[in-house]
Every structure is written in structure tokens, then in C-alpha cells.
Amino acid sequence: MQHAKRCSTHLVLLVLILAYALPARAGIDLMVLSASRKIQTTIYNPADLTLVTDSRILPLDKGMNQIRFSWANTRIDPTSLVLAVTDASGPVTIEQMRFPPDTKNLAIWHVHAQTPCRAGIEISYFTAGISWESYYTAILSPDKSHIRLTGHVRLQNRSGEDYDNATTRLVIGKIHLLDRIAKLAEQPHPHGRPEIGGFADQGQDAYARGKVLLETAPAMAMQKSMPAEAPKNIEKTKLSEYFLYTIEGTQSIAHGWSRQLVSFDAPAVPVTHIFVFDDRRFGTQTVQMLSFTNDTASDLGKFPLPGGRFQVFHAIDQNGGMIFAGQDTADYIPVEKQARLTLGPDPRVKVAPKILTYAKTNLQFNDQGNLSGFDDVRTMAMDISNASDLPADVEITRHMPDPDFTITDITGPGRFEKIDQNRFTFFVTLAPGTTTSISYTITTRKGDRKWQQSPVPSS
């Protein structure tokens, strides 16, 4: 681990008191300010947005006080800066806020106190560059009937600012945004500027300079964390359309670092192995999928699972031995819903569809004697084999380019379901080392036969 010195990013809160009515004013003890500081971060996913609230106690003198806030080399959106007085021992009024023209990345609030007092203030803002993601580890039991599903959340800080001992909340849900926070943070002027013809766009230069600064900033070493005897609990709560993950205690994540925590651990989630044959999606190979349900029977179901990458391993002994079974990325999994993880092609389960017989029937001719339609009749067969050592639930989906078809004379094991006007699926379970076959007749009406719902005599 290298010693590192952060020099490119800083966040400073200063309070200068300009008691215009009084020639003398009290100084501000910055150490006192730091001691009472509380930071909360609320990190959204997938939006690149974090709401930061920074709470402090400030001593205010009688008259006008200036609170200066600077954010050079961070990714803070200056349009989101808000100062609120949450608690004050005397009347306090926030008069105005200004971005001085001669100093970049600086905001100054003018706060008027009628009497000397101590005021609780809260500065909130949006910043880009802090993200979180979910990912999961699934370890199949030796008999492949269950998985131990462990959810993780990983926090990543590339905001340019260190957040020490911050209360951290993670939001699952898609929020509506008009502007990208990262773009607002890059603006050379906090709220942009009126368009004036003939001036070069300075925004790109500023962005490039900022980017270089961020990329060349030396990394800071890991911060000391508070001792604990158990992993941080992550409390999950519903809030409007969003789900909120609140991490127990506080987190310190230096700029550039990421931290991974266990979100949940479900030791025995029942799974089924589904082998999907769908030539539109996967070609002629059968693809193995691992399915589980986000419900209480699986020791889940208390909260939705955020989308993320799943890595699946297969435990092969009791000593931690395992093999890599595959990985997939799953989208948001609501409560009570089933998730499917695609593990890849499996040559041990084969599906071979073929046309057994073909005929053209019910030829139709119009008044001029021209051929105007017919029925395309084909007998289909699908040979299915399972050379694996487990029972295989096989799903075979077929696609019809033309919706004017009927299926009759289905024989073989399993279940048939028409998905929509162009798709149907067979569901069949095969014991290890067995083969079976499904056959059916599919009749497609062509030409004028599309408009005739009942069979007509063959010509």
C-alpha cells in the first residue's frame, strides 16, 4: 500500500462573519465545526446521482454572516446547493446566496442573525461519481437442488471527495431526471450562461481540465473503519416507488475506493434447472438456466432484488471445493417473481426438431381459375435427450412467422402452451439418461385460405 497525498480535491466549509453593524466579530473555530459534522449520502442507481446532506452546528454572530462553501475538483452540481437552518437558538434568516464571479466553485450564503446564537444548518447537494451496484454469488449445493444466494452491494466513490463516517442509503428505482448531474457539475458557470454568438464553447475545455485533474489525482489510502463484530446490517424499506437500502452505522469511503458489503445471505434457495431450446434466441443449442423465486419459501421475498451480476459456482465437496458454473446479469427481481440465470449452452441436453411429413392441401382457386390459397400441413417431431446426471426440465419454444396456423394431434409427454399468436412452447421433464419425442401437426393457411376459418374439400 502506497502512501498517498490528496491534493487535487477538497471540500471546505468556512464561515466568515461579516457583522456589518458591528466593527468587531467573533472568529469561527473550524475544529468545533468538524466535531459536530454529520454526513448522509443517498445513492441512486442507475442514475449517477447522490444526494449529500452535511449537517453542522454553527455559531452565528449578530448581524450578517457569510457561509462559504467551495467544491473545487469534485463533481458537485452547484445548481443543487441548498442551505437550510434546521435549528437555531435565535431568529436566523438566509438572505441570499451568490456565486462570486472571481472565484470558481465557490458559493456564499448570507445569513442574518438577530442575536448571537448557535444554529444547526444543513447543506445539501447532488454529486455525481458515487455509485453502488448489486451483485450476487450463488453456490449450488452438491446435488444442485439449492443455491446459497448471497447478495452484495458495492459502493464506489469517484466523486473527488472523501466521505468519512457517512450514513449511507441506497435507492433502488428509476427516478425522472431532466439533466445529468455529471453534466451540471461540469458547467463552467453554476447555472450556465446566456447564449452569446461568436464565443467558443468553454464547457468542453473545463470538462477536459477537470477530467485530467480527476484522473491524475493520487489515490488516498483506506480510511480506518469502526470496529464491528458482525457485517453491517442493510435495512430494506419501501418508499413510494423506490426501495431504500440503509446501511447500518456509518461508512468511510475515500475517493477512488470501493467497498463491498453483504446485503443478504439466503443459505438454501430452491432452484430448478431449465434447459431452453429457442432457435430465435440461442440457435440450435440448448441453454441451461437456473431458476429461483424471490419469495418467502426461498428465504427471500422480503424485498425486491436489485439488478446485478450473478456468479454461479457448484460446490463439489464439503471442504469449499467448487467449480465455476457460469455467470449472468439479471434485471430487478420483484417480490414473488421468478428469476432466471442463463448459464450457457449445455450439450448434454439436446432438442432436435424436424419436419416428418409435408403436404399442401385445400387448394383454392378464384373465379378465373387462378390458384388463390392452400394449406401448408406439416407433421413435426422433436427428439429430446438428456445425457446429464440430473432430471431436466426442458422448454422448447417455436416461432411461427405467420399467425394463421392451428396445431393438432399433439402426442408425447409434457405440456403445451400457446404463448401468443406467433409462439408456442412445450414443457417436458426428462429423467437422467433418457430420451423422448413430441410430435404434432401444424397447419398454416396461405393466401385466401387465411380468410376461411373452416376446412374446405381438397381440390
Taking CB under 8 A as the criterion, the residue among 311, 397, 436, 439 binding other proteins is: 311
Q: How far is the CB of 221 from other proteins (least distance, A)?
A: 4
| Residues between 213 and 242 with contacts to other proteins, criterion CB under 8 A | 219-225, 227-232
Taking CB under 8 A as the criterion, the residue among 177, 212, 268, 316 binding other proteins is: 316
402 phi/psi in degrees, rounded to 5: -115, 130
Grid coordinates given for 366 = 378464384
Closer to other proteins by Cβ: residue 279 or 299: 279
Binding mask 358-397 for other proteins (x = CB under 8 A): xxx--x-x--xxxx--x-x-xxxx---x-x----------
Closer to other proteins by Cβ: residue 361 or 429: 361
Do the strands 349-365 and 371-386 form a parallel or antiparallel pair, or are they unpaired?
Answer: antiparallel
| Residues between 393 and 432 with contacts to other proteins, criterion CB under 8 A | 398-400, 405
Closer to other proteins by Cβ: residue 89 or 327: 327
| Residues between 248 and 277 with contacts to other proteins, criterion CB under 8 A | 255-262
Q: How many CB atoms lie within 10 A of CB 411?
A: 10
Closer to other proteins by Cβ: residue 89 or 372: 372
Q: How many CB atoms lie within 10 A of CB 261?
A: 19
Q: How far is the CB of 357 from other proteins (least distance, A)?
A: 5
Please, where are the H alpha helices in 15-124? 30-35
Q: How far is the CB of 119 from other proteins (least distance, A)?
A: 29
Please, where are the H alpha helices in 173-315? 181-186, 203-216, 279-282
Our measurement of the distance from residue 453's CA atom to the centroid of its chain's CA atoms, rounded to an integer in Å, reads 48
Q: How far is the CB of 410 from other proteins (least distance, A)?
A: 14
User: Exposed/middle/buried for 160, CB within 10 Å: 0-12, 13-18, 19+?
Assistant: buried
Closer to other proteins by Cβ: residue 192 or 321: 321
Closer to other proteins by Cβ: residue 353 or 412: 353
Answer whether 185's CB lies under 8 Å from 128's CB: yes
Q: Does 457 bind other proteins (CB under 8 A)?
A: no
Candidate ranges 3-11, 32-40, 107-115, 166-174; the one touching other proteins (CB under 8 A): 3-11
Q: How far is the CB of 198 from other proteins (least distance, A)?
A: 41
| Residues between 127 and 166 with contacts to other proteins, criterion CB under 8 A | 135, 137
> Which residues make Cβ contacts (< 8 Å) with residue 261, sequence separation at least 6?
152, 153, 154, 155, 231, 232, 234, 247
Question: Rounded CA gap, 313 and 310, in Å?
Answer: 10
Q: What angle do CA 96, 101, 107 make, to 5 degrees?
A: 40
